[in-house]
Chain A
Amino acid sequence: MRRSLAIVAVAALALSACTTTTGGTAGSGSTEVVVAGTYPIDSIDPHGPQGGGTGPQMAEQAIFSRLLRVKPDGTLEGDLATAWKSDPTASEWTFTLRQGVKFSDGKPVTAKDIVDSFKRFIDLKGTNSANFPGYTLASTSDTEVVLKAPKPDAAIPRKLAVFFVLPSGVTANDTAFFERPVGSGPFRLERFSPNEIVFVPNEHHYGGAPKVSKVTVRKMPELAARLTALRTGEVDIAWGIPDDQLPAVQGESSLTVQTVQSSAVFTMWFNSSIPALKEAAVRRALWQAIDFQTIIKQLYPQTGTPSEGVVSANTLGFVKQEPVRHDPAAAKAALTAAGFDFNQKLRLQFANAEFRPFNQAVVSELQKIGVQVDLLEKEQAVFTKDLLALNWDINFQQLSNPTLDAANTIGRLYPCAAKRNGYCNPQLDQLLAQAGASADEKERVRLYGEAARIIWQDAVGMFPMAVKHAYAWNKRLSGFTPDPNGLPSFAGLQVGS
């Protein structure tokens, strides 16, 4: 019997050895980099239903190239395209292609690959393809592709930052391809499992192969796990570090900590289609009732600043708005004057436990003036479903905008036809249409600014906070640039100085 006990013990050990991988790959001296992944990477098909998520996109931009990409400072940079220009109406855009670009299998990237990829992108109806309704891409020569929009669209270059190029001939559910994907990005996929994804340099990358020998993105949804691993050196890079943990991380001598202004703005829409919130005066009063200044100072001392507009300051189309002053007495008076029913319970929905304290604080503030709020924390999938169905009274979202162009937020979410928050204003619709059609950047900024003023003053939602992302990385790394959208590139990384 003692022997069988030993067998059990050995079997357990053997099993744990088989199913686990060796850890501590980030030891000094190696040129392997381990990244703590905040978001799940369920799929690396950039055109598939999950392809637009933050996790997948981070992987996709390592493996695949795009026509254009947005640099961390918000400016555009050519990737597969070297130059781009539009016709005067901004509805036809011509892209000159980079020459001599090769896929990781050594085959050249052709205009046909790009055109076929775009077709696949549109056909598979992933989340990002909704930005291109009725758009077509065609090649005019081996070195040029032309994108045609059904109506003027000045935001096309930035929108294209989410369009990734695959070789021609990849089918819809091509699992074999995505097990060993071929792309023209800086990295090649070595391994993809639910727990980690491993990249190795793509020797054929047009910009030269990355200097590190391996990049592993390890799935670590738990914050505590990310931070511990960062301190022990088990991982080299982590981000999304909340304020409560930042001082401890900043105290570590082996780590560089940096916050970077993101494109994200805490956006709390009111459902203007319900009777209680129909009046702009009511919505304004609710905004006024909440002491966001204090909430931000206490909960987000380092990564939060009061937002000065509907979109972040680094987004094209940002115009500063008049701050909303906290005045609970005036708020209460305004609500009473508007005949607000204080017995009614408003449903505030949000997803992700990370935002629980903020929303609890908001609920607490509203309760102080007698407004009852039911706080509903929902799972992401349920949240999204209810969000689209307008099954909420107040909705909290950390709204990011990877394109750094107001067209993607203001232009997309606030027209009547979008039906995203129950607000409808023909005057606003007109402004947004004009802004979308203008190819002149200054004019677009002016128009989006005017639109934002209406949104702000009518309190379509509250826009309390602009978000900074806190990044921390091991000092043994160089060449790392924090990304405002939580999508850092690993191409420029080096180990040791």
Chain B
Amino acid sequence: MFRVIVKRLLTGVLVMWGAASLIFLIVRVAPGDPVTILLGTDASAEQIAELTASLGLDRPLLSQYLTYLTDVARLDFGRSYLLGQPAMPEVLERVPATAELMLTSTAIAVVVGLALGLLAGSRPGSIVDRIVSACTIALQSFPTFWVGIMLILAFALAFRMLPSAGAGTPAHLVLPSVTLALPFTAIVARLTRTSVAETMGEPYIQTARSKGLTERQVLAGHALRNSLIPVVTVVGLHMGGLMGGAVIVENVFAWPGLGSLIVDAVSNRDYAVVQAATFLIAGIVMLFNLVTDLVYSQLDPRIRLDGAV
């Protein structure tokens, strides 16, 4: 087990190195050089030369890349030219808001998704099953940002029940987290439904029934337990997708998290922040995948970790 974790961590380091290099590449290929961005176009030639030298931009590309990698290893991404502060702390400051959003969404998606999946899967082919299936297709297809706007229209403007944007109170959390949760609720529901429907056809379920267990006991005792493994996996594997969804949802609801920071930084070409934030997110996603695999192997002893790549 320990060896496996070490091996996975090493792969993780490799992936993070690749991710950092990819970011380096994108930023270097992009038009507009950092010196002009930092100084403005009306800077004097001496100022430009001085800053170019102090940023090391006059050195060979390979040497710049190596310096960049050592800086990355120390989580130093330089200063945000907009905020005037080191980029990484600025990024970290936004993490709690995004984490709050993602955790709430995950909770909603898992609870509601499991419930819907059980409901549909326990009676495959029934009206309930069809309605749930249709809903899950719709929920997965609707564009998140549009759903968010429609929720604002309904709950903030028409019914005036909830604030339409911003953060600060639990009420502010409702619309963004529901919006973010919807597609993942659908995924969890579909998965649960399939798994429950399969389990219900198994001979041991018949046995359980014949022993006089109520339908509810059968569902809770066997069907639910069996469907938890794929659900845990899918939640873990979709952390990246959830993070991506958060980028858009945060912008719809002016939620002060990582996503709105990144979009602002991209629009302003504040590359230090872009690099720090994307690197951090890549790290988080990777960590989640690792943890998912570990939990997965704990839940189901049949799965051996070293086989899973």
Contact present between A and B (CB < 8 A): yes
Among B81, B83, B103, B164, contact of A12 (Cβ-Cβ < 8 Å): B103
Q: Which residue on A lies nearest to B153, using beta carbons?
A: A224
Q: Which residue on B lies nearest to A14, using beta carbons?
A: B103
A329 at the interface (CB under 8 A from B): no
A11 at the interface (CB under 8 A from B): yes
Q: Which residue on A lies nearest to B295, using beta carbons?
A: A4
A336 to chain B, nearest CB (A): 34
A214 to chain B, nearest CB (A): 15
Name the interface residues of A375-389: CB closer than 8 Å to any CB of B: 379-382, 385-386, 388-389
A85 to chain B, nearest CB (A): 38
Among A8, A232, A385, A388, contact of B107 (Cβ-Cβ < 8 Å): A8
Q: Which residue on B lies nearest to A391, using beta carbons?
A: B41
Q: Which residue on A lies nearest to B114, using beta carbons?
A: A5
Contact string against A for B residues 89-132, beta-carbon threshold 8 Å, 1 for contact and 0 otherwise: 00001001101100110110011000000000000000000000
Contact B169–A21 (Cβ < 8 Å) = yes
Stretch at the interface among B66-74, B155-163, B286-294: B155-163
Contact string against B for A residues 1-41, beta-carbon threshold 8 Å, 1 for contact and 0 otherwise: 10001001101110111011111100000000000000000
Contact string against B for A residues 440-453, beta-carbon threshold 8 Å, 1 for contact and 0 otherwise: 00000000000000
Q: How far is the CA of A228 from the CA of B156 in the complex (A)?
A: 7
Number of A-B contacts (CB under 8 A): 109
Given contacts A12-B103, A12-B104, A194-B256, are A20 and B167 in contact (CB under 8 A)?
yes
Q: How far is the CA of A381 from the CA of B163 in the complex (A)?
A: 29
B282 to chain A, nearest CB (A): 23
Q: Return chain A residues, CB-CB under 8 Å to B100.
A: 12, 15-16, 19-20
Contact A379–B267 (Cβ < 8 Å) = yes
B249 at the interface (CB under 8 A from A): no
Residues of A within 8 A of B (CB-CB), count: 43
Residues of B within 8 A of A (CB-CB), count: 43
Q: How far is the CA of A24 from the CA of B172 in the complex (A)?
A: 12
Contact string against A for B residues 126-168, beta-carbon threshold 8 Å, 1 for contact and 0 otherwise: 0000000000000000000000000010001100100111111
Contact A382–B268 (Cβ < 8 Å) = yes
Contact A389–B164 (Cβ < 8 Å) = no
Contact string against A for B residues 251-271, beta-carbon threshold 8 Å, 1 for contact and 0 otherwise: 000101000000010011110
Among A1, A17, A225, contact of B165 (Cβ-Cβ < 8 Å): A225
B42 at the interface (CB under 8 A from A): yes
Contact string against A for B residues 77-90, beta-carbon threshold 8 Å, 1 for contact and 0 otherwise: 00001111000000
Name the interface residues of B30-60: CB closer than 8 Å to any CB of A: 37, 40-42
B228 at the interface (CB under 8 A from A): yes
Q: Return chain B residues, CB-CB under 8 Å to A221.
A: 254
B131 to chain A, nearest CB (A): 24
Contact B97–A23 (Cβ < 8 Å) = no
B173 at the interface (CB under 8 A from A): yes
A66 at the interface (CB under 8 A from B): no
B212 at the interface (CB under 8 A from A): no
A476 at the interface (CB under 8 A from B): no
Contact A385–B254 (Cβ < 8 Å) = no
A467 to chain B, nearest CB (A): 24
**B93, B100, B172, B270 interface centre (most CB from chain A within 10 Å):** B100
Q: Return chain A residues, CB-CB under 8 Å to B156.
A: 224, 228
Contact B228–A1 (Cβ < 8 Å) = yes
A195 at the interface (CB under 8 A from B): yes
Q: How far is the CA of A17 from the CA of B171 in the complex (A)?
A: 11
Q: Return chain B residues, CB-CB under 8 Å to A496.
A: none
A370 at the interface (CB under 8 A from B): no
Name the interface residues of B149-202: CB closer than 8 Å to any CB of A: 152, 156-157, 160, 163-173
A283 at the interface (CB under 8 A from B): no
Contact B168–A222 (Cβ < 8 Å) = no
Contact string against B for A residues 157-188, beta-carbon threshold 8 Å, 1 for contact and 0 otherwise: 00000000000000000000000000000000
Q: Return chain A residues, CB-CB under 8 Å to B41.
A: 385-386, 388-389, 391
Q: Return chain B residues, CB-CB under 8 Å to A16.
A: 100, 104, 170, 173
Contact A220–B170 (Cβ < 8 Å) = no
Given contacts A385-B40, A385-B41, are A231 and B166 in contact (CB under 8 A)?
no
Contact B164–A228 (Cβ < 8 Å) = yes
B225 at the interface (CB under 8 A from A): yes
Among A1, A15, A42, A49, contact of B225 (Cβ-Cβ < 8 Å): A1
B95 to chain A, nearest CB (A): 11
Given contacts A12-B106, A234-B163, are A218 and B169 in contact (CB under 8 A)?
no
21 A-B pairs, CB-CB below 8 angstroms?
A1-B225, A12-B104, A12-B106, A13-B104, A15-B100, A15-B103, A15-B104, A20-B100, A22-B169, A23-B171, A49-B84, A195-B168, A196-B168, A222-B166, A225-B164, A229-B166, A232-B163, A379-B267, A381-B270, A385-B37, A389-B41
Using A1-B225, A381-B270 as known contacts, list a sample of 5 further A-B pairs with CB atoms less than 8 Å apart, ordered by residue number in A. A12-B106, A23-B169, A224-B165, A228-B156, A379-B267
In order of increasing CB-CB distance, the 10 nearest A-B pairs are: A23-B169, A389-B41, A225-B165, A222-B165, A12-B103, A222-B254, A12-B107, A225-B166, A379-B268, A224-B164
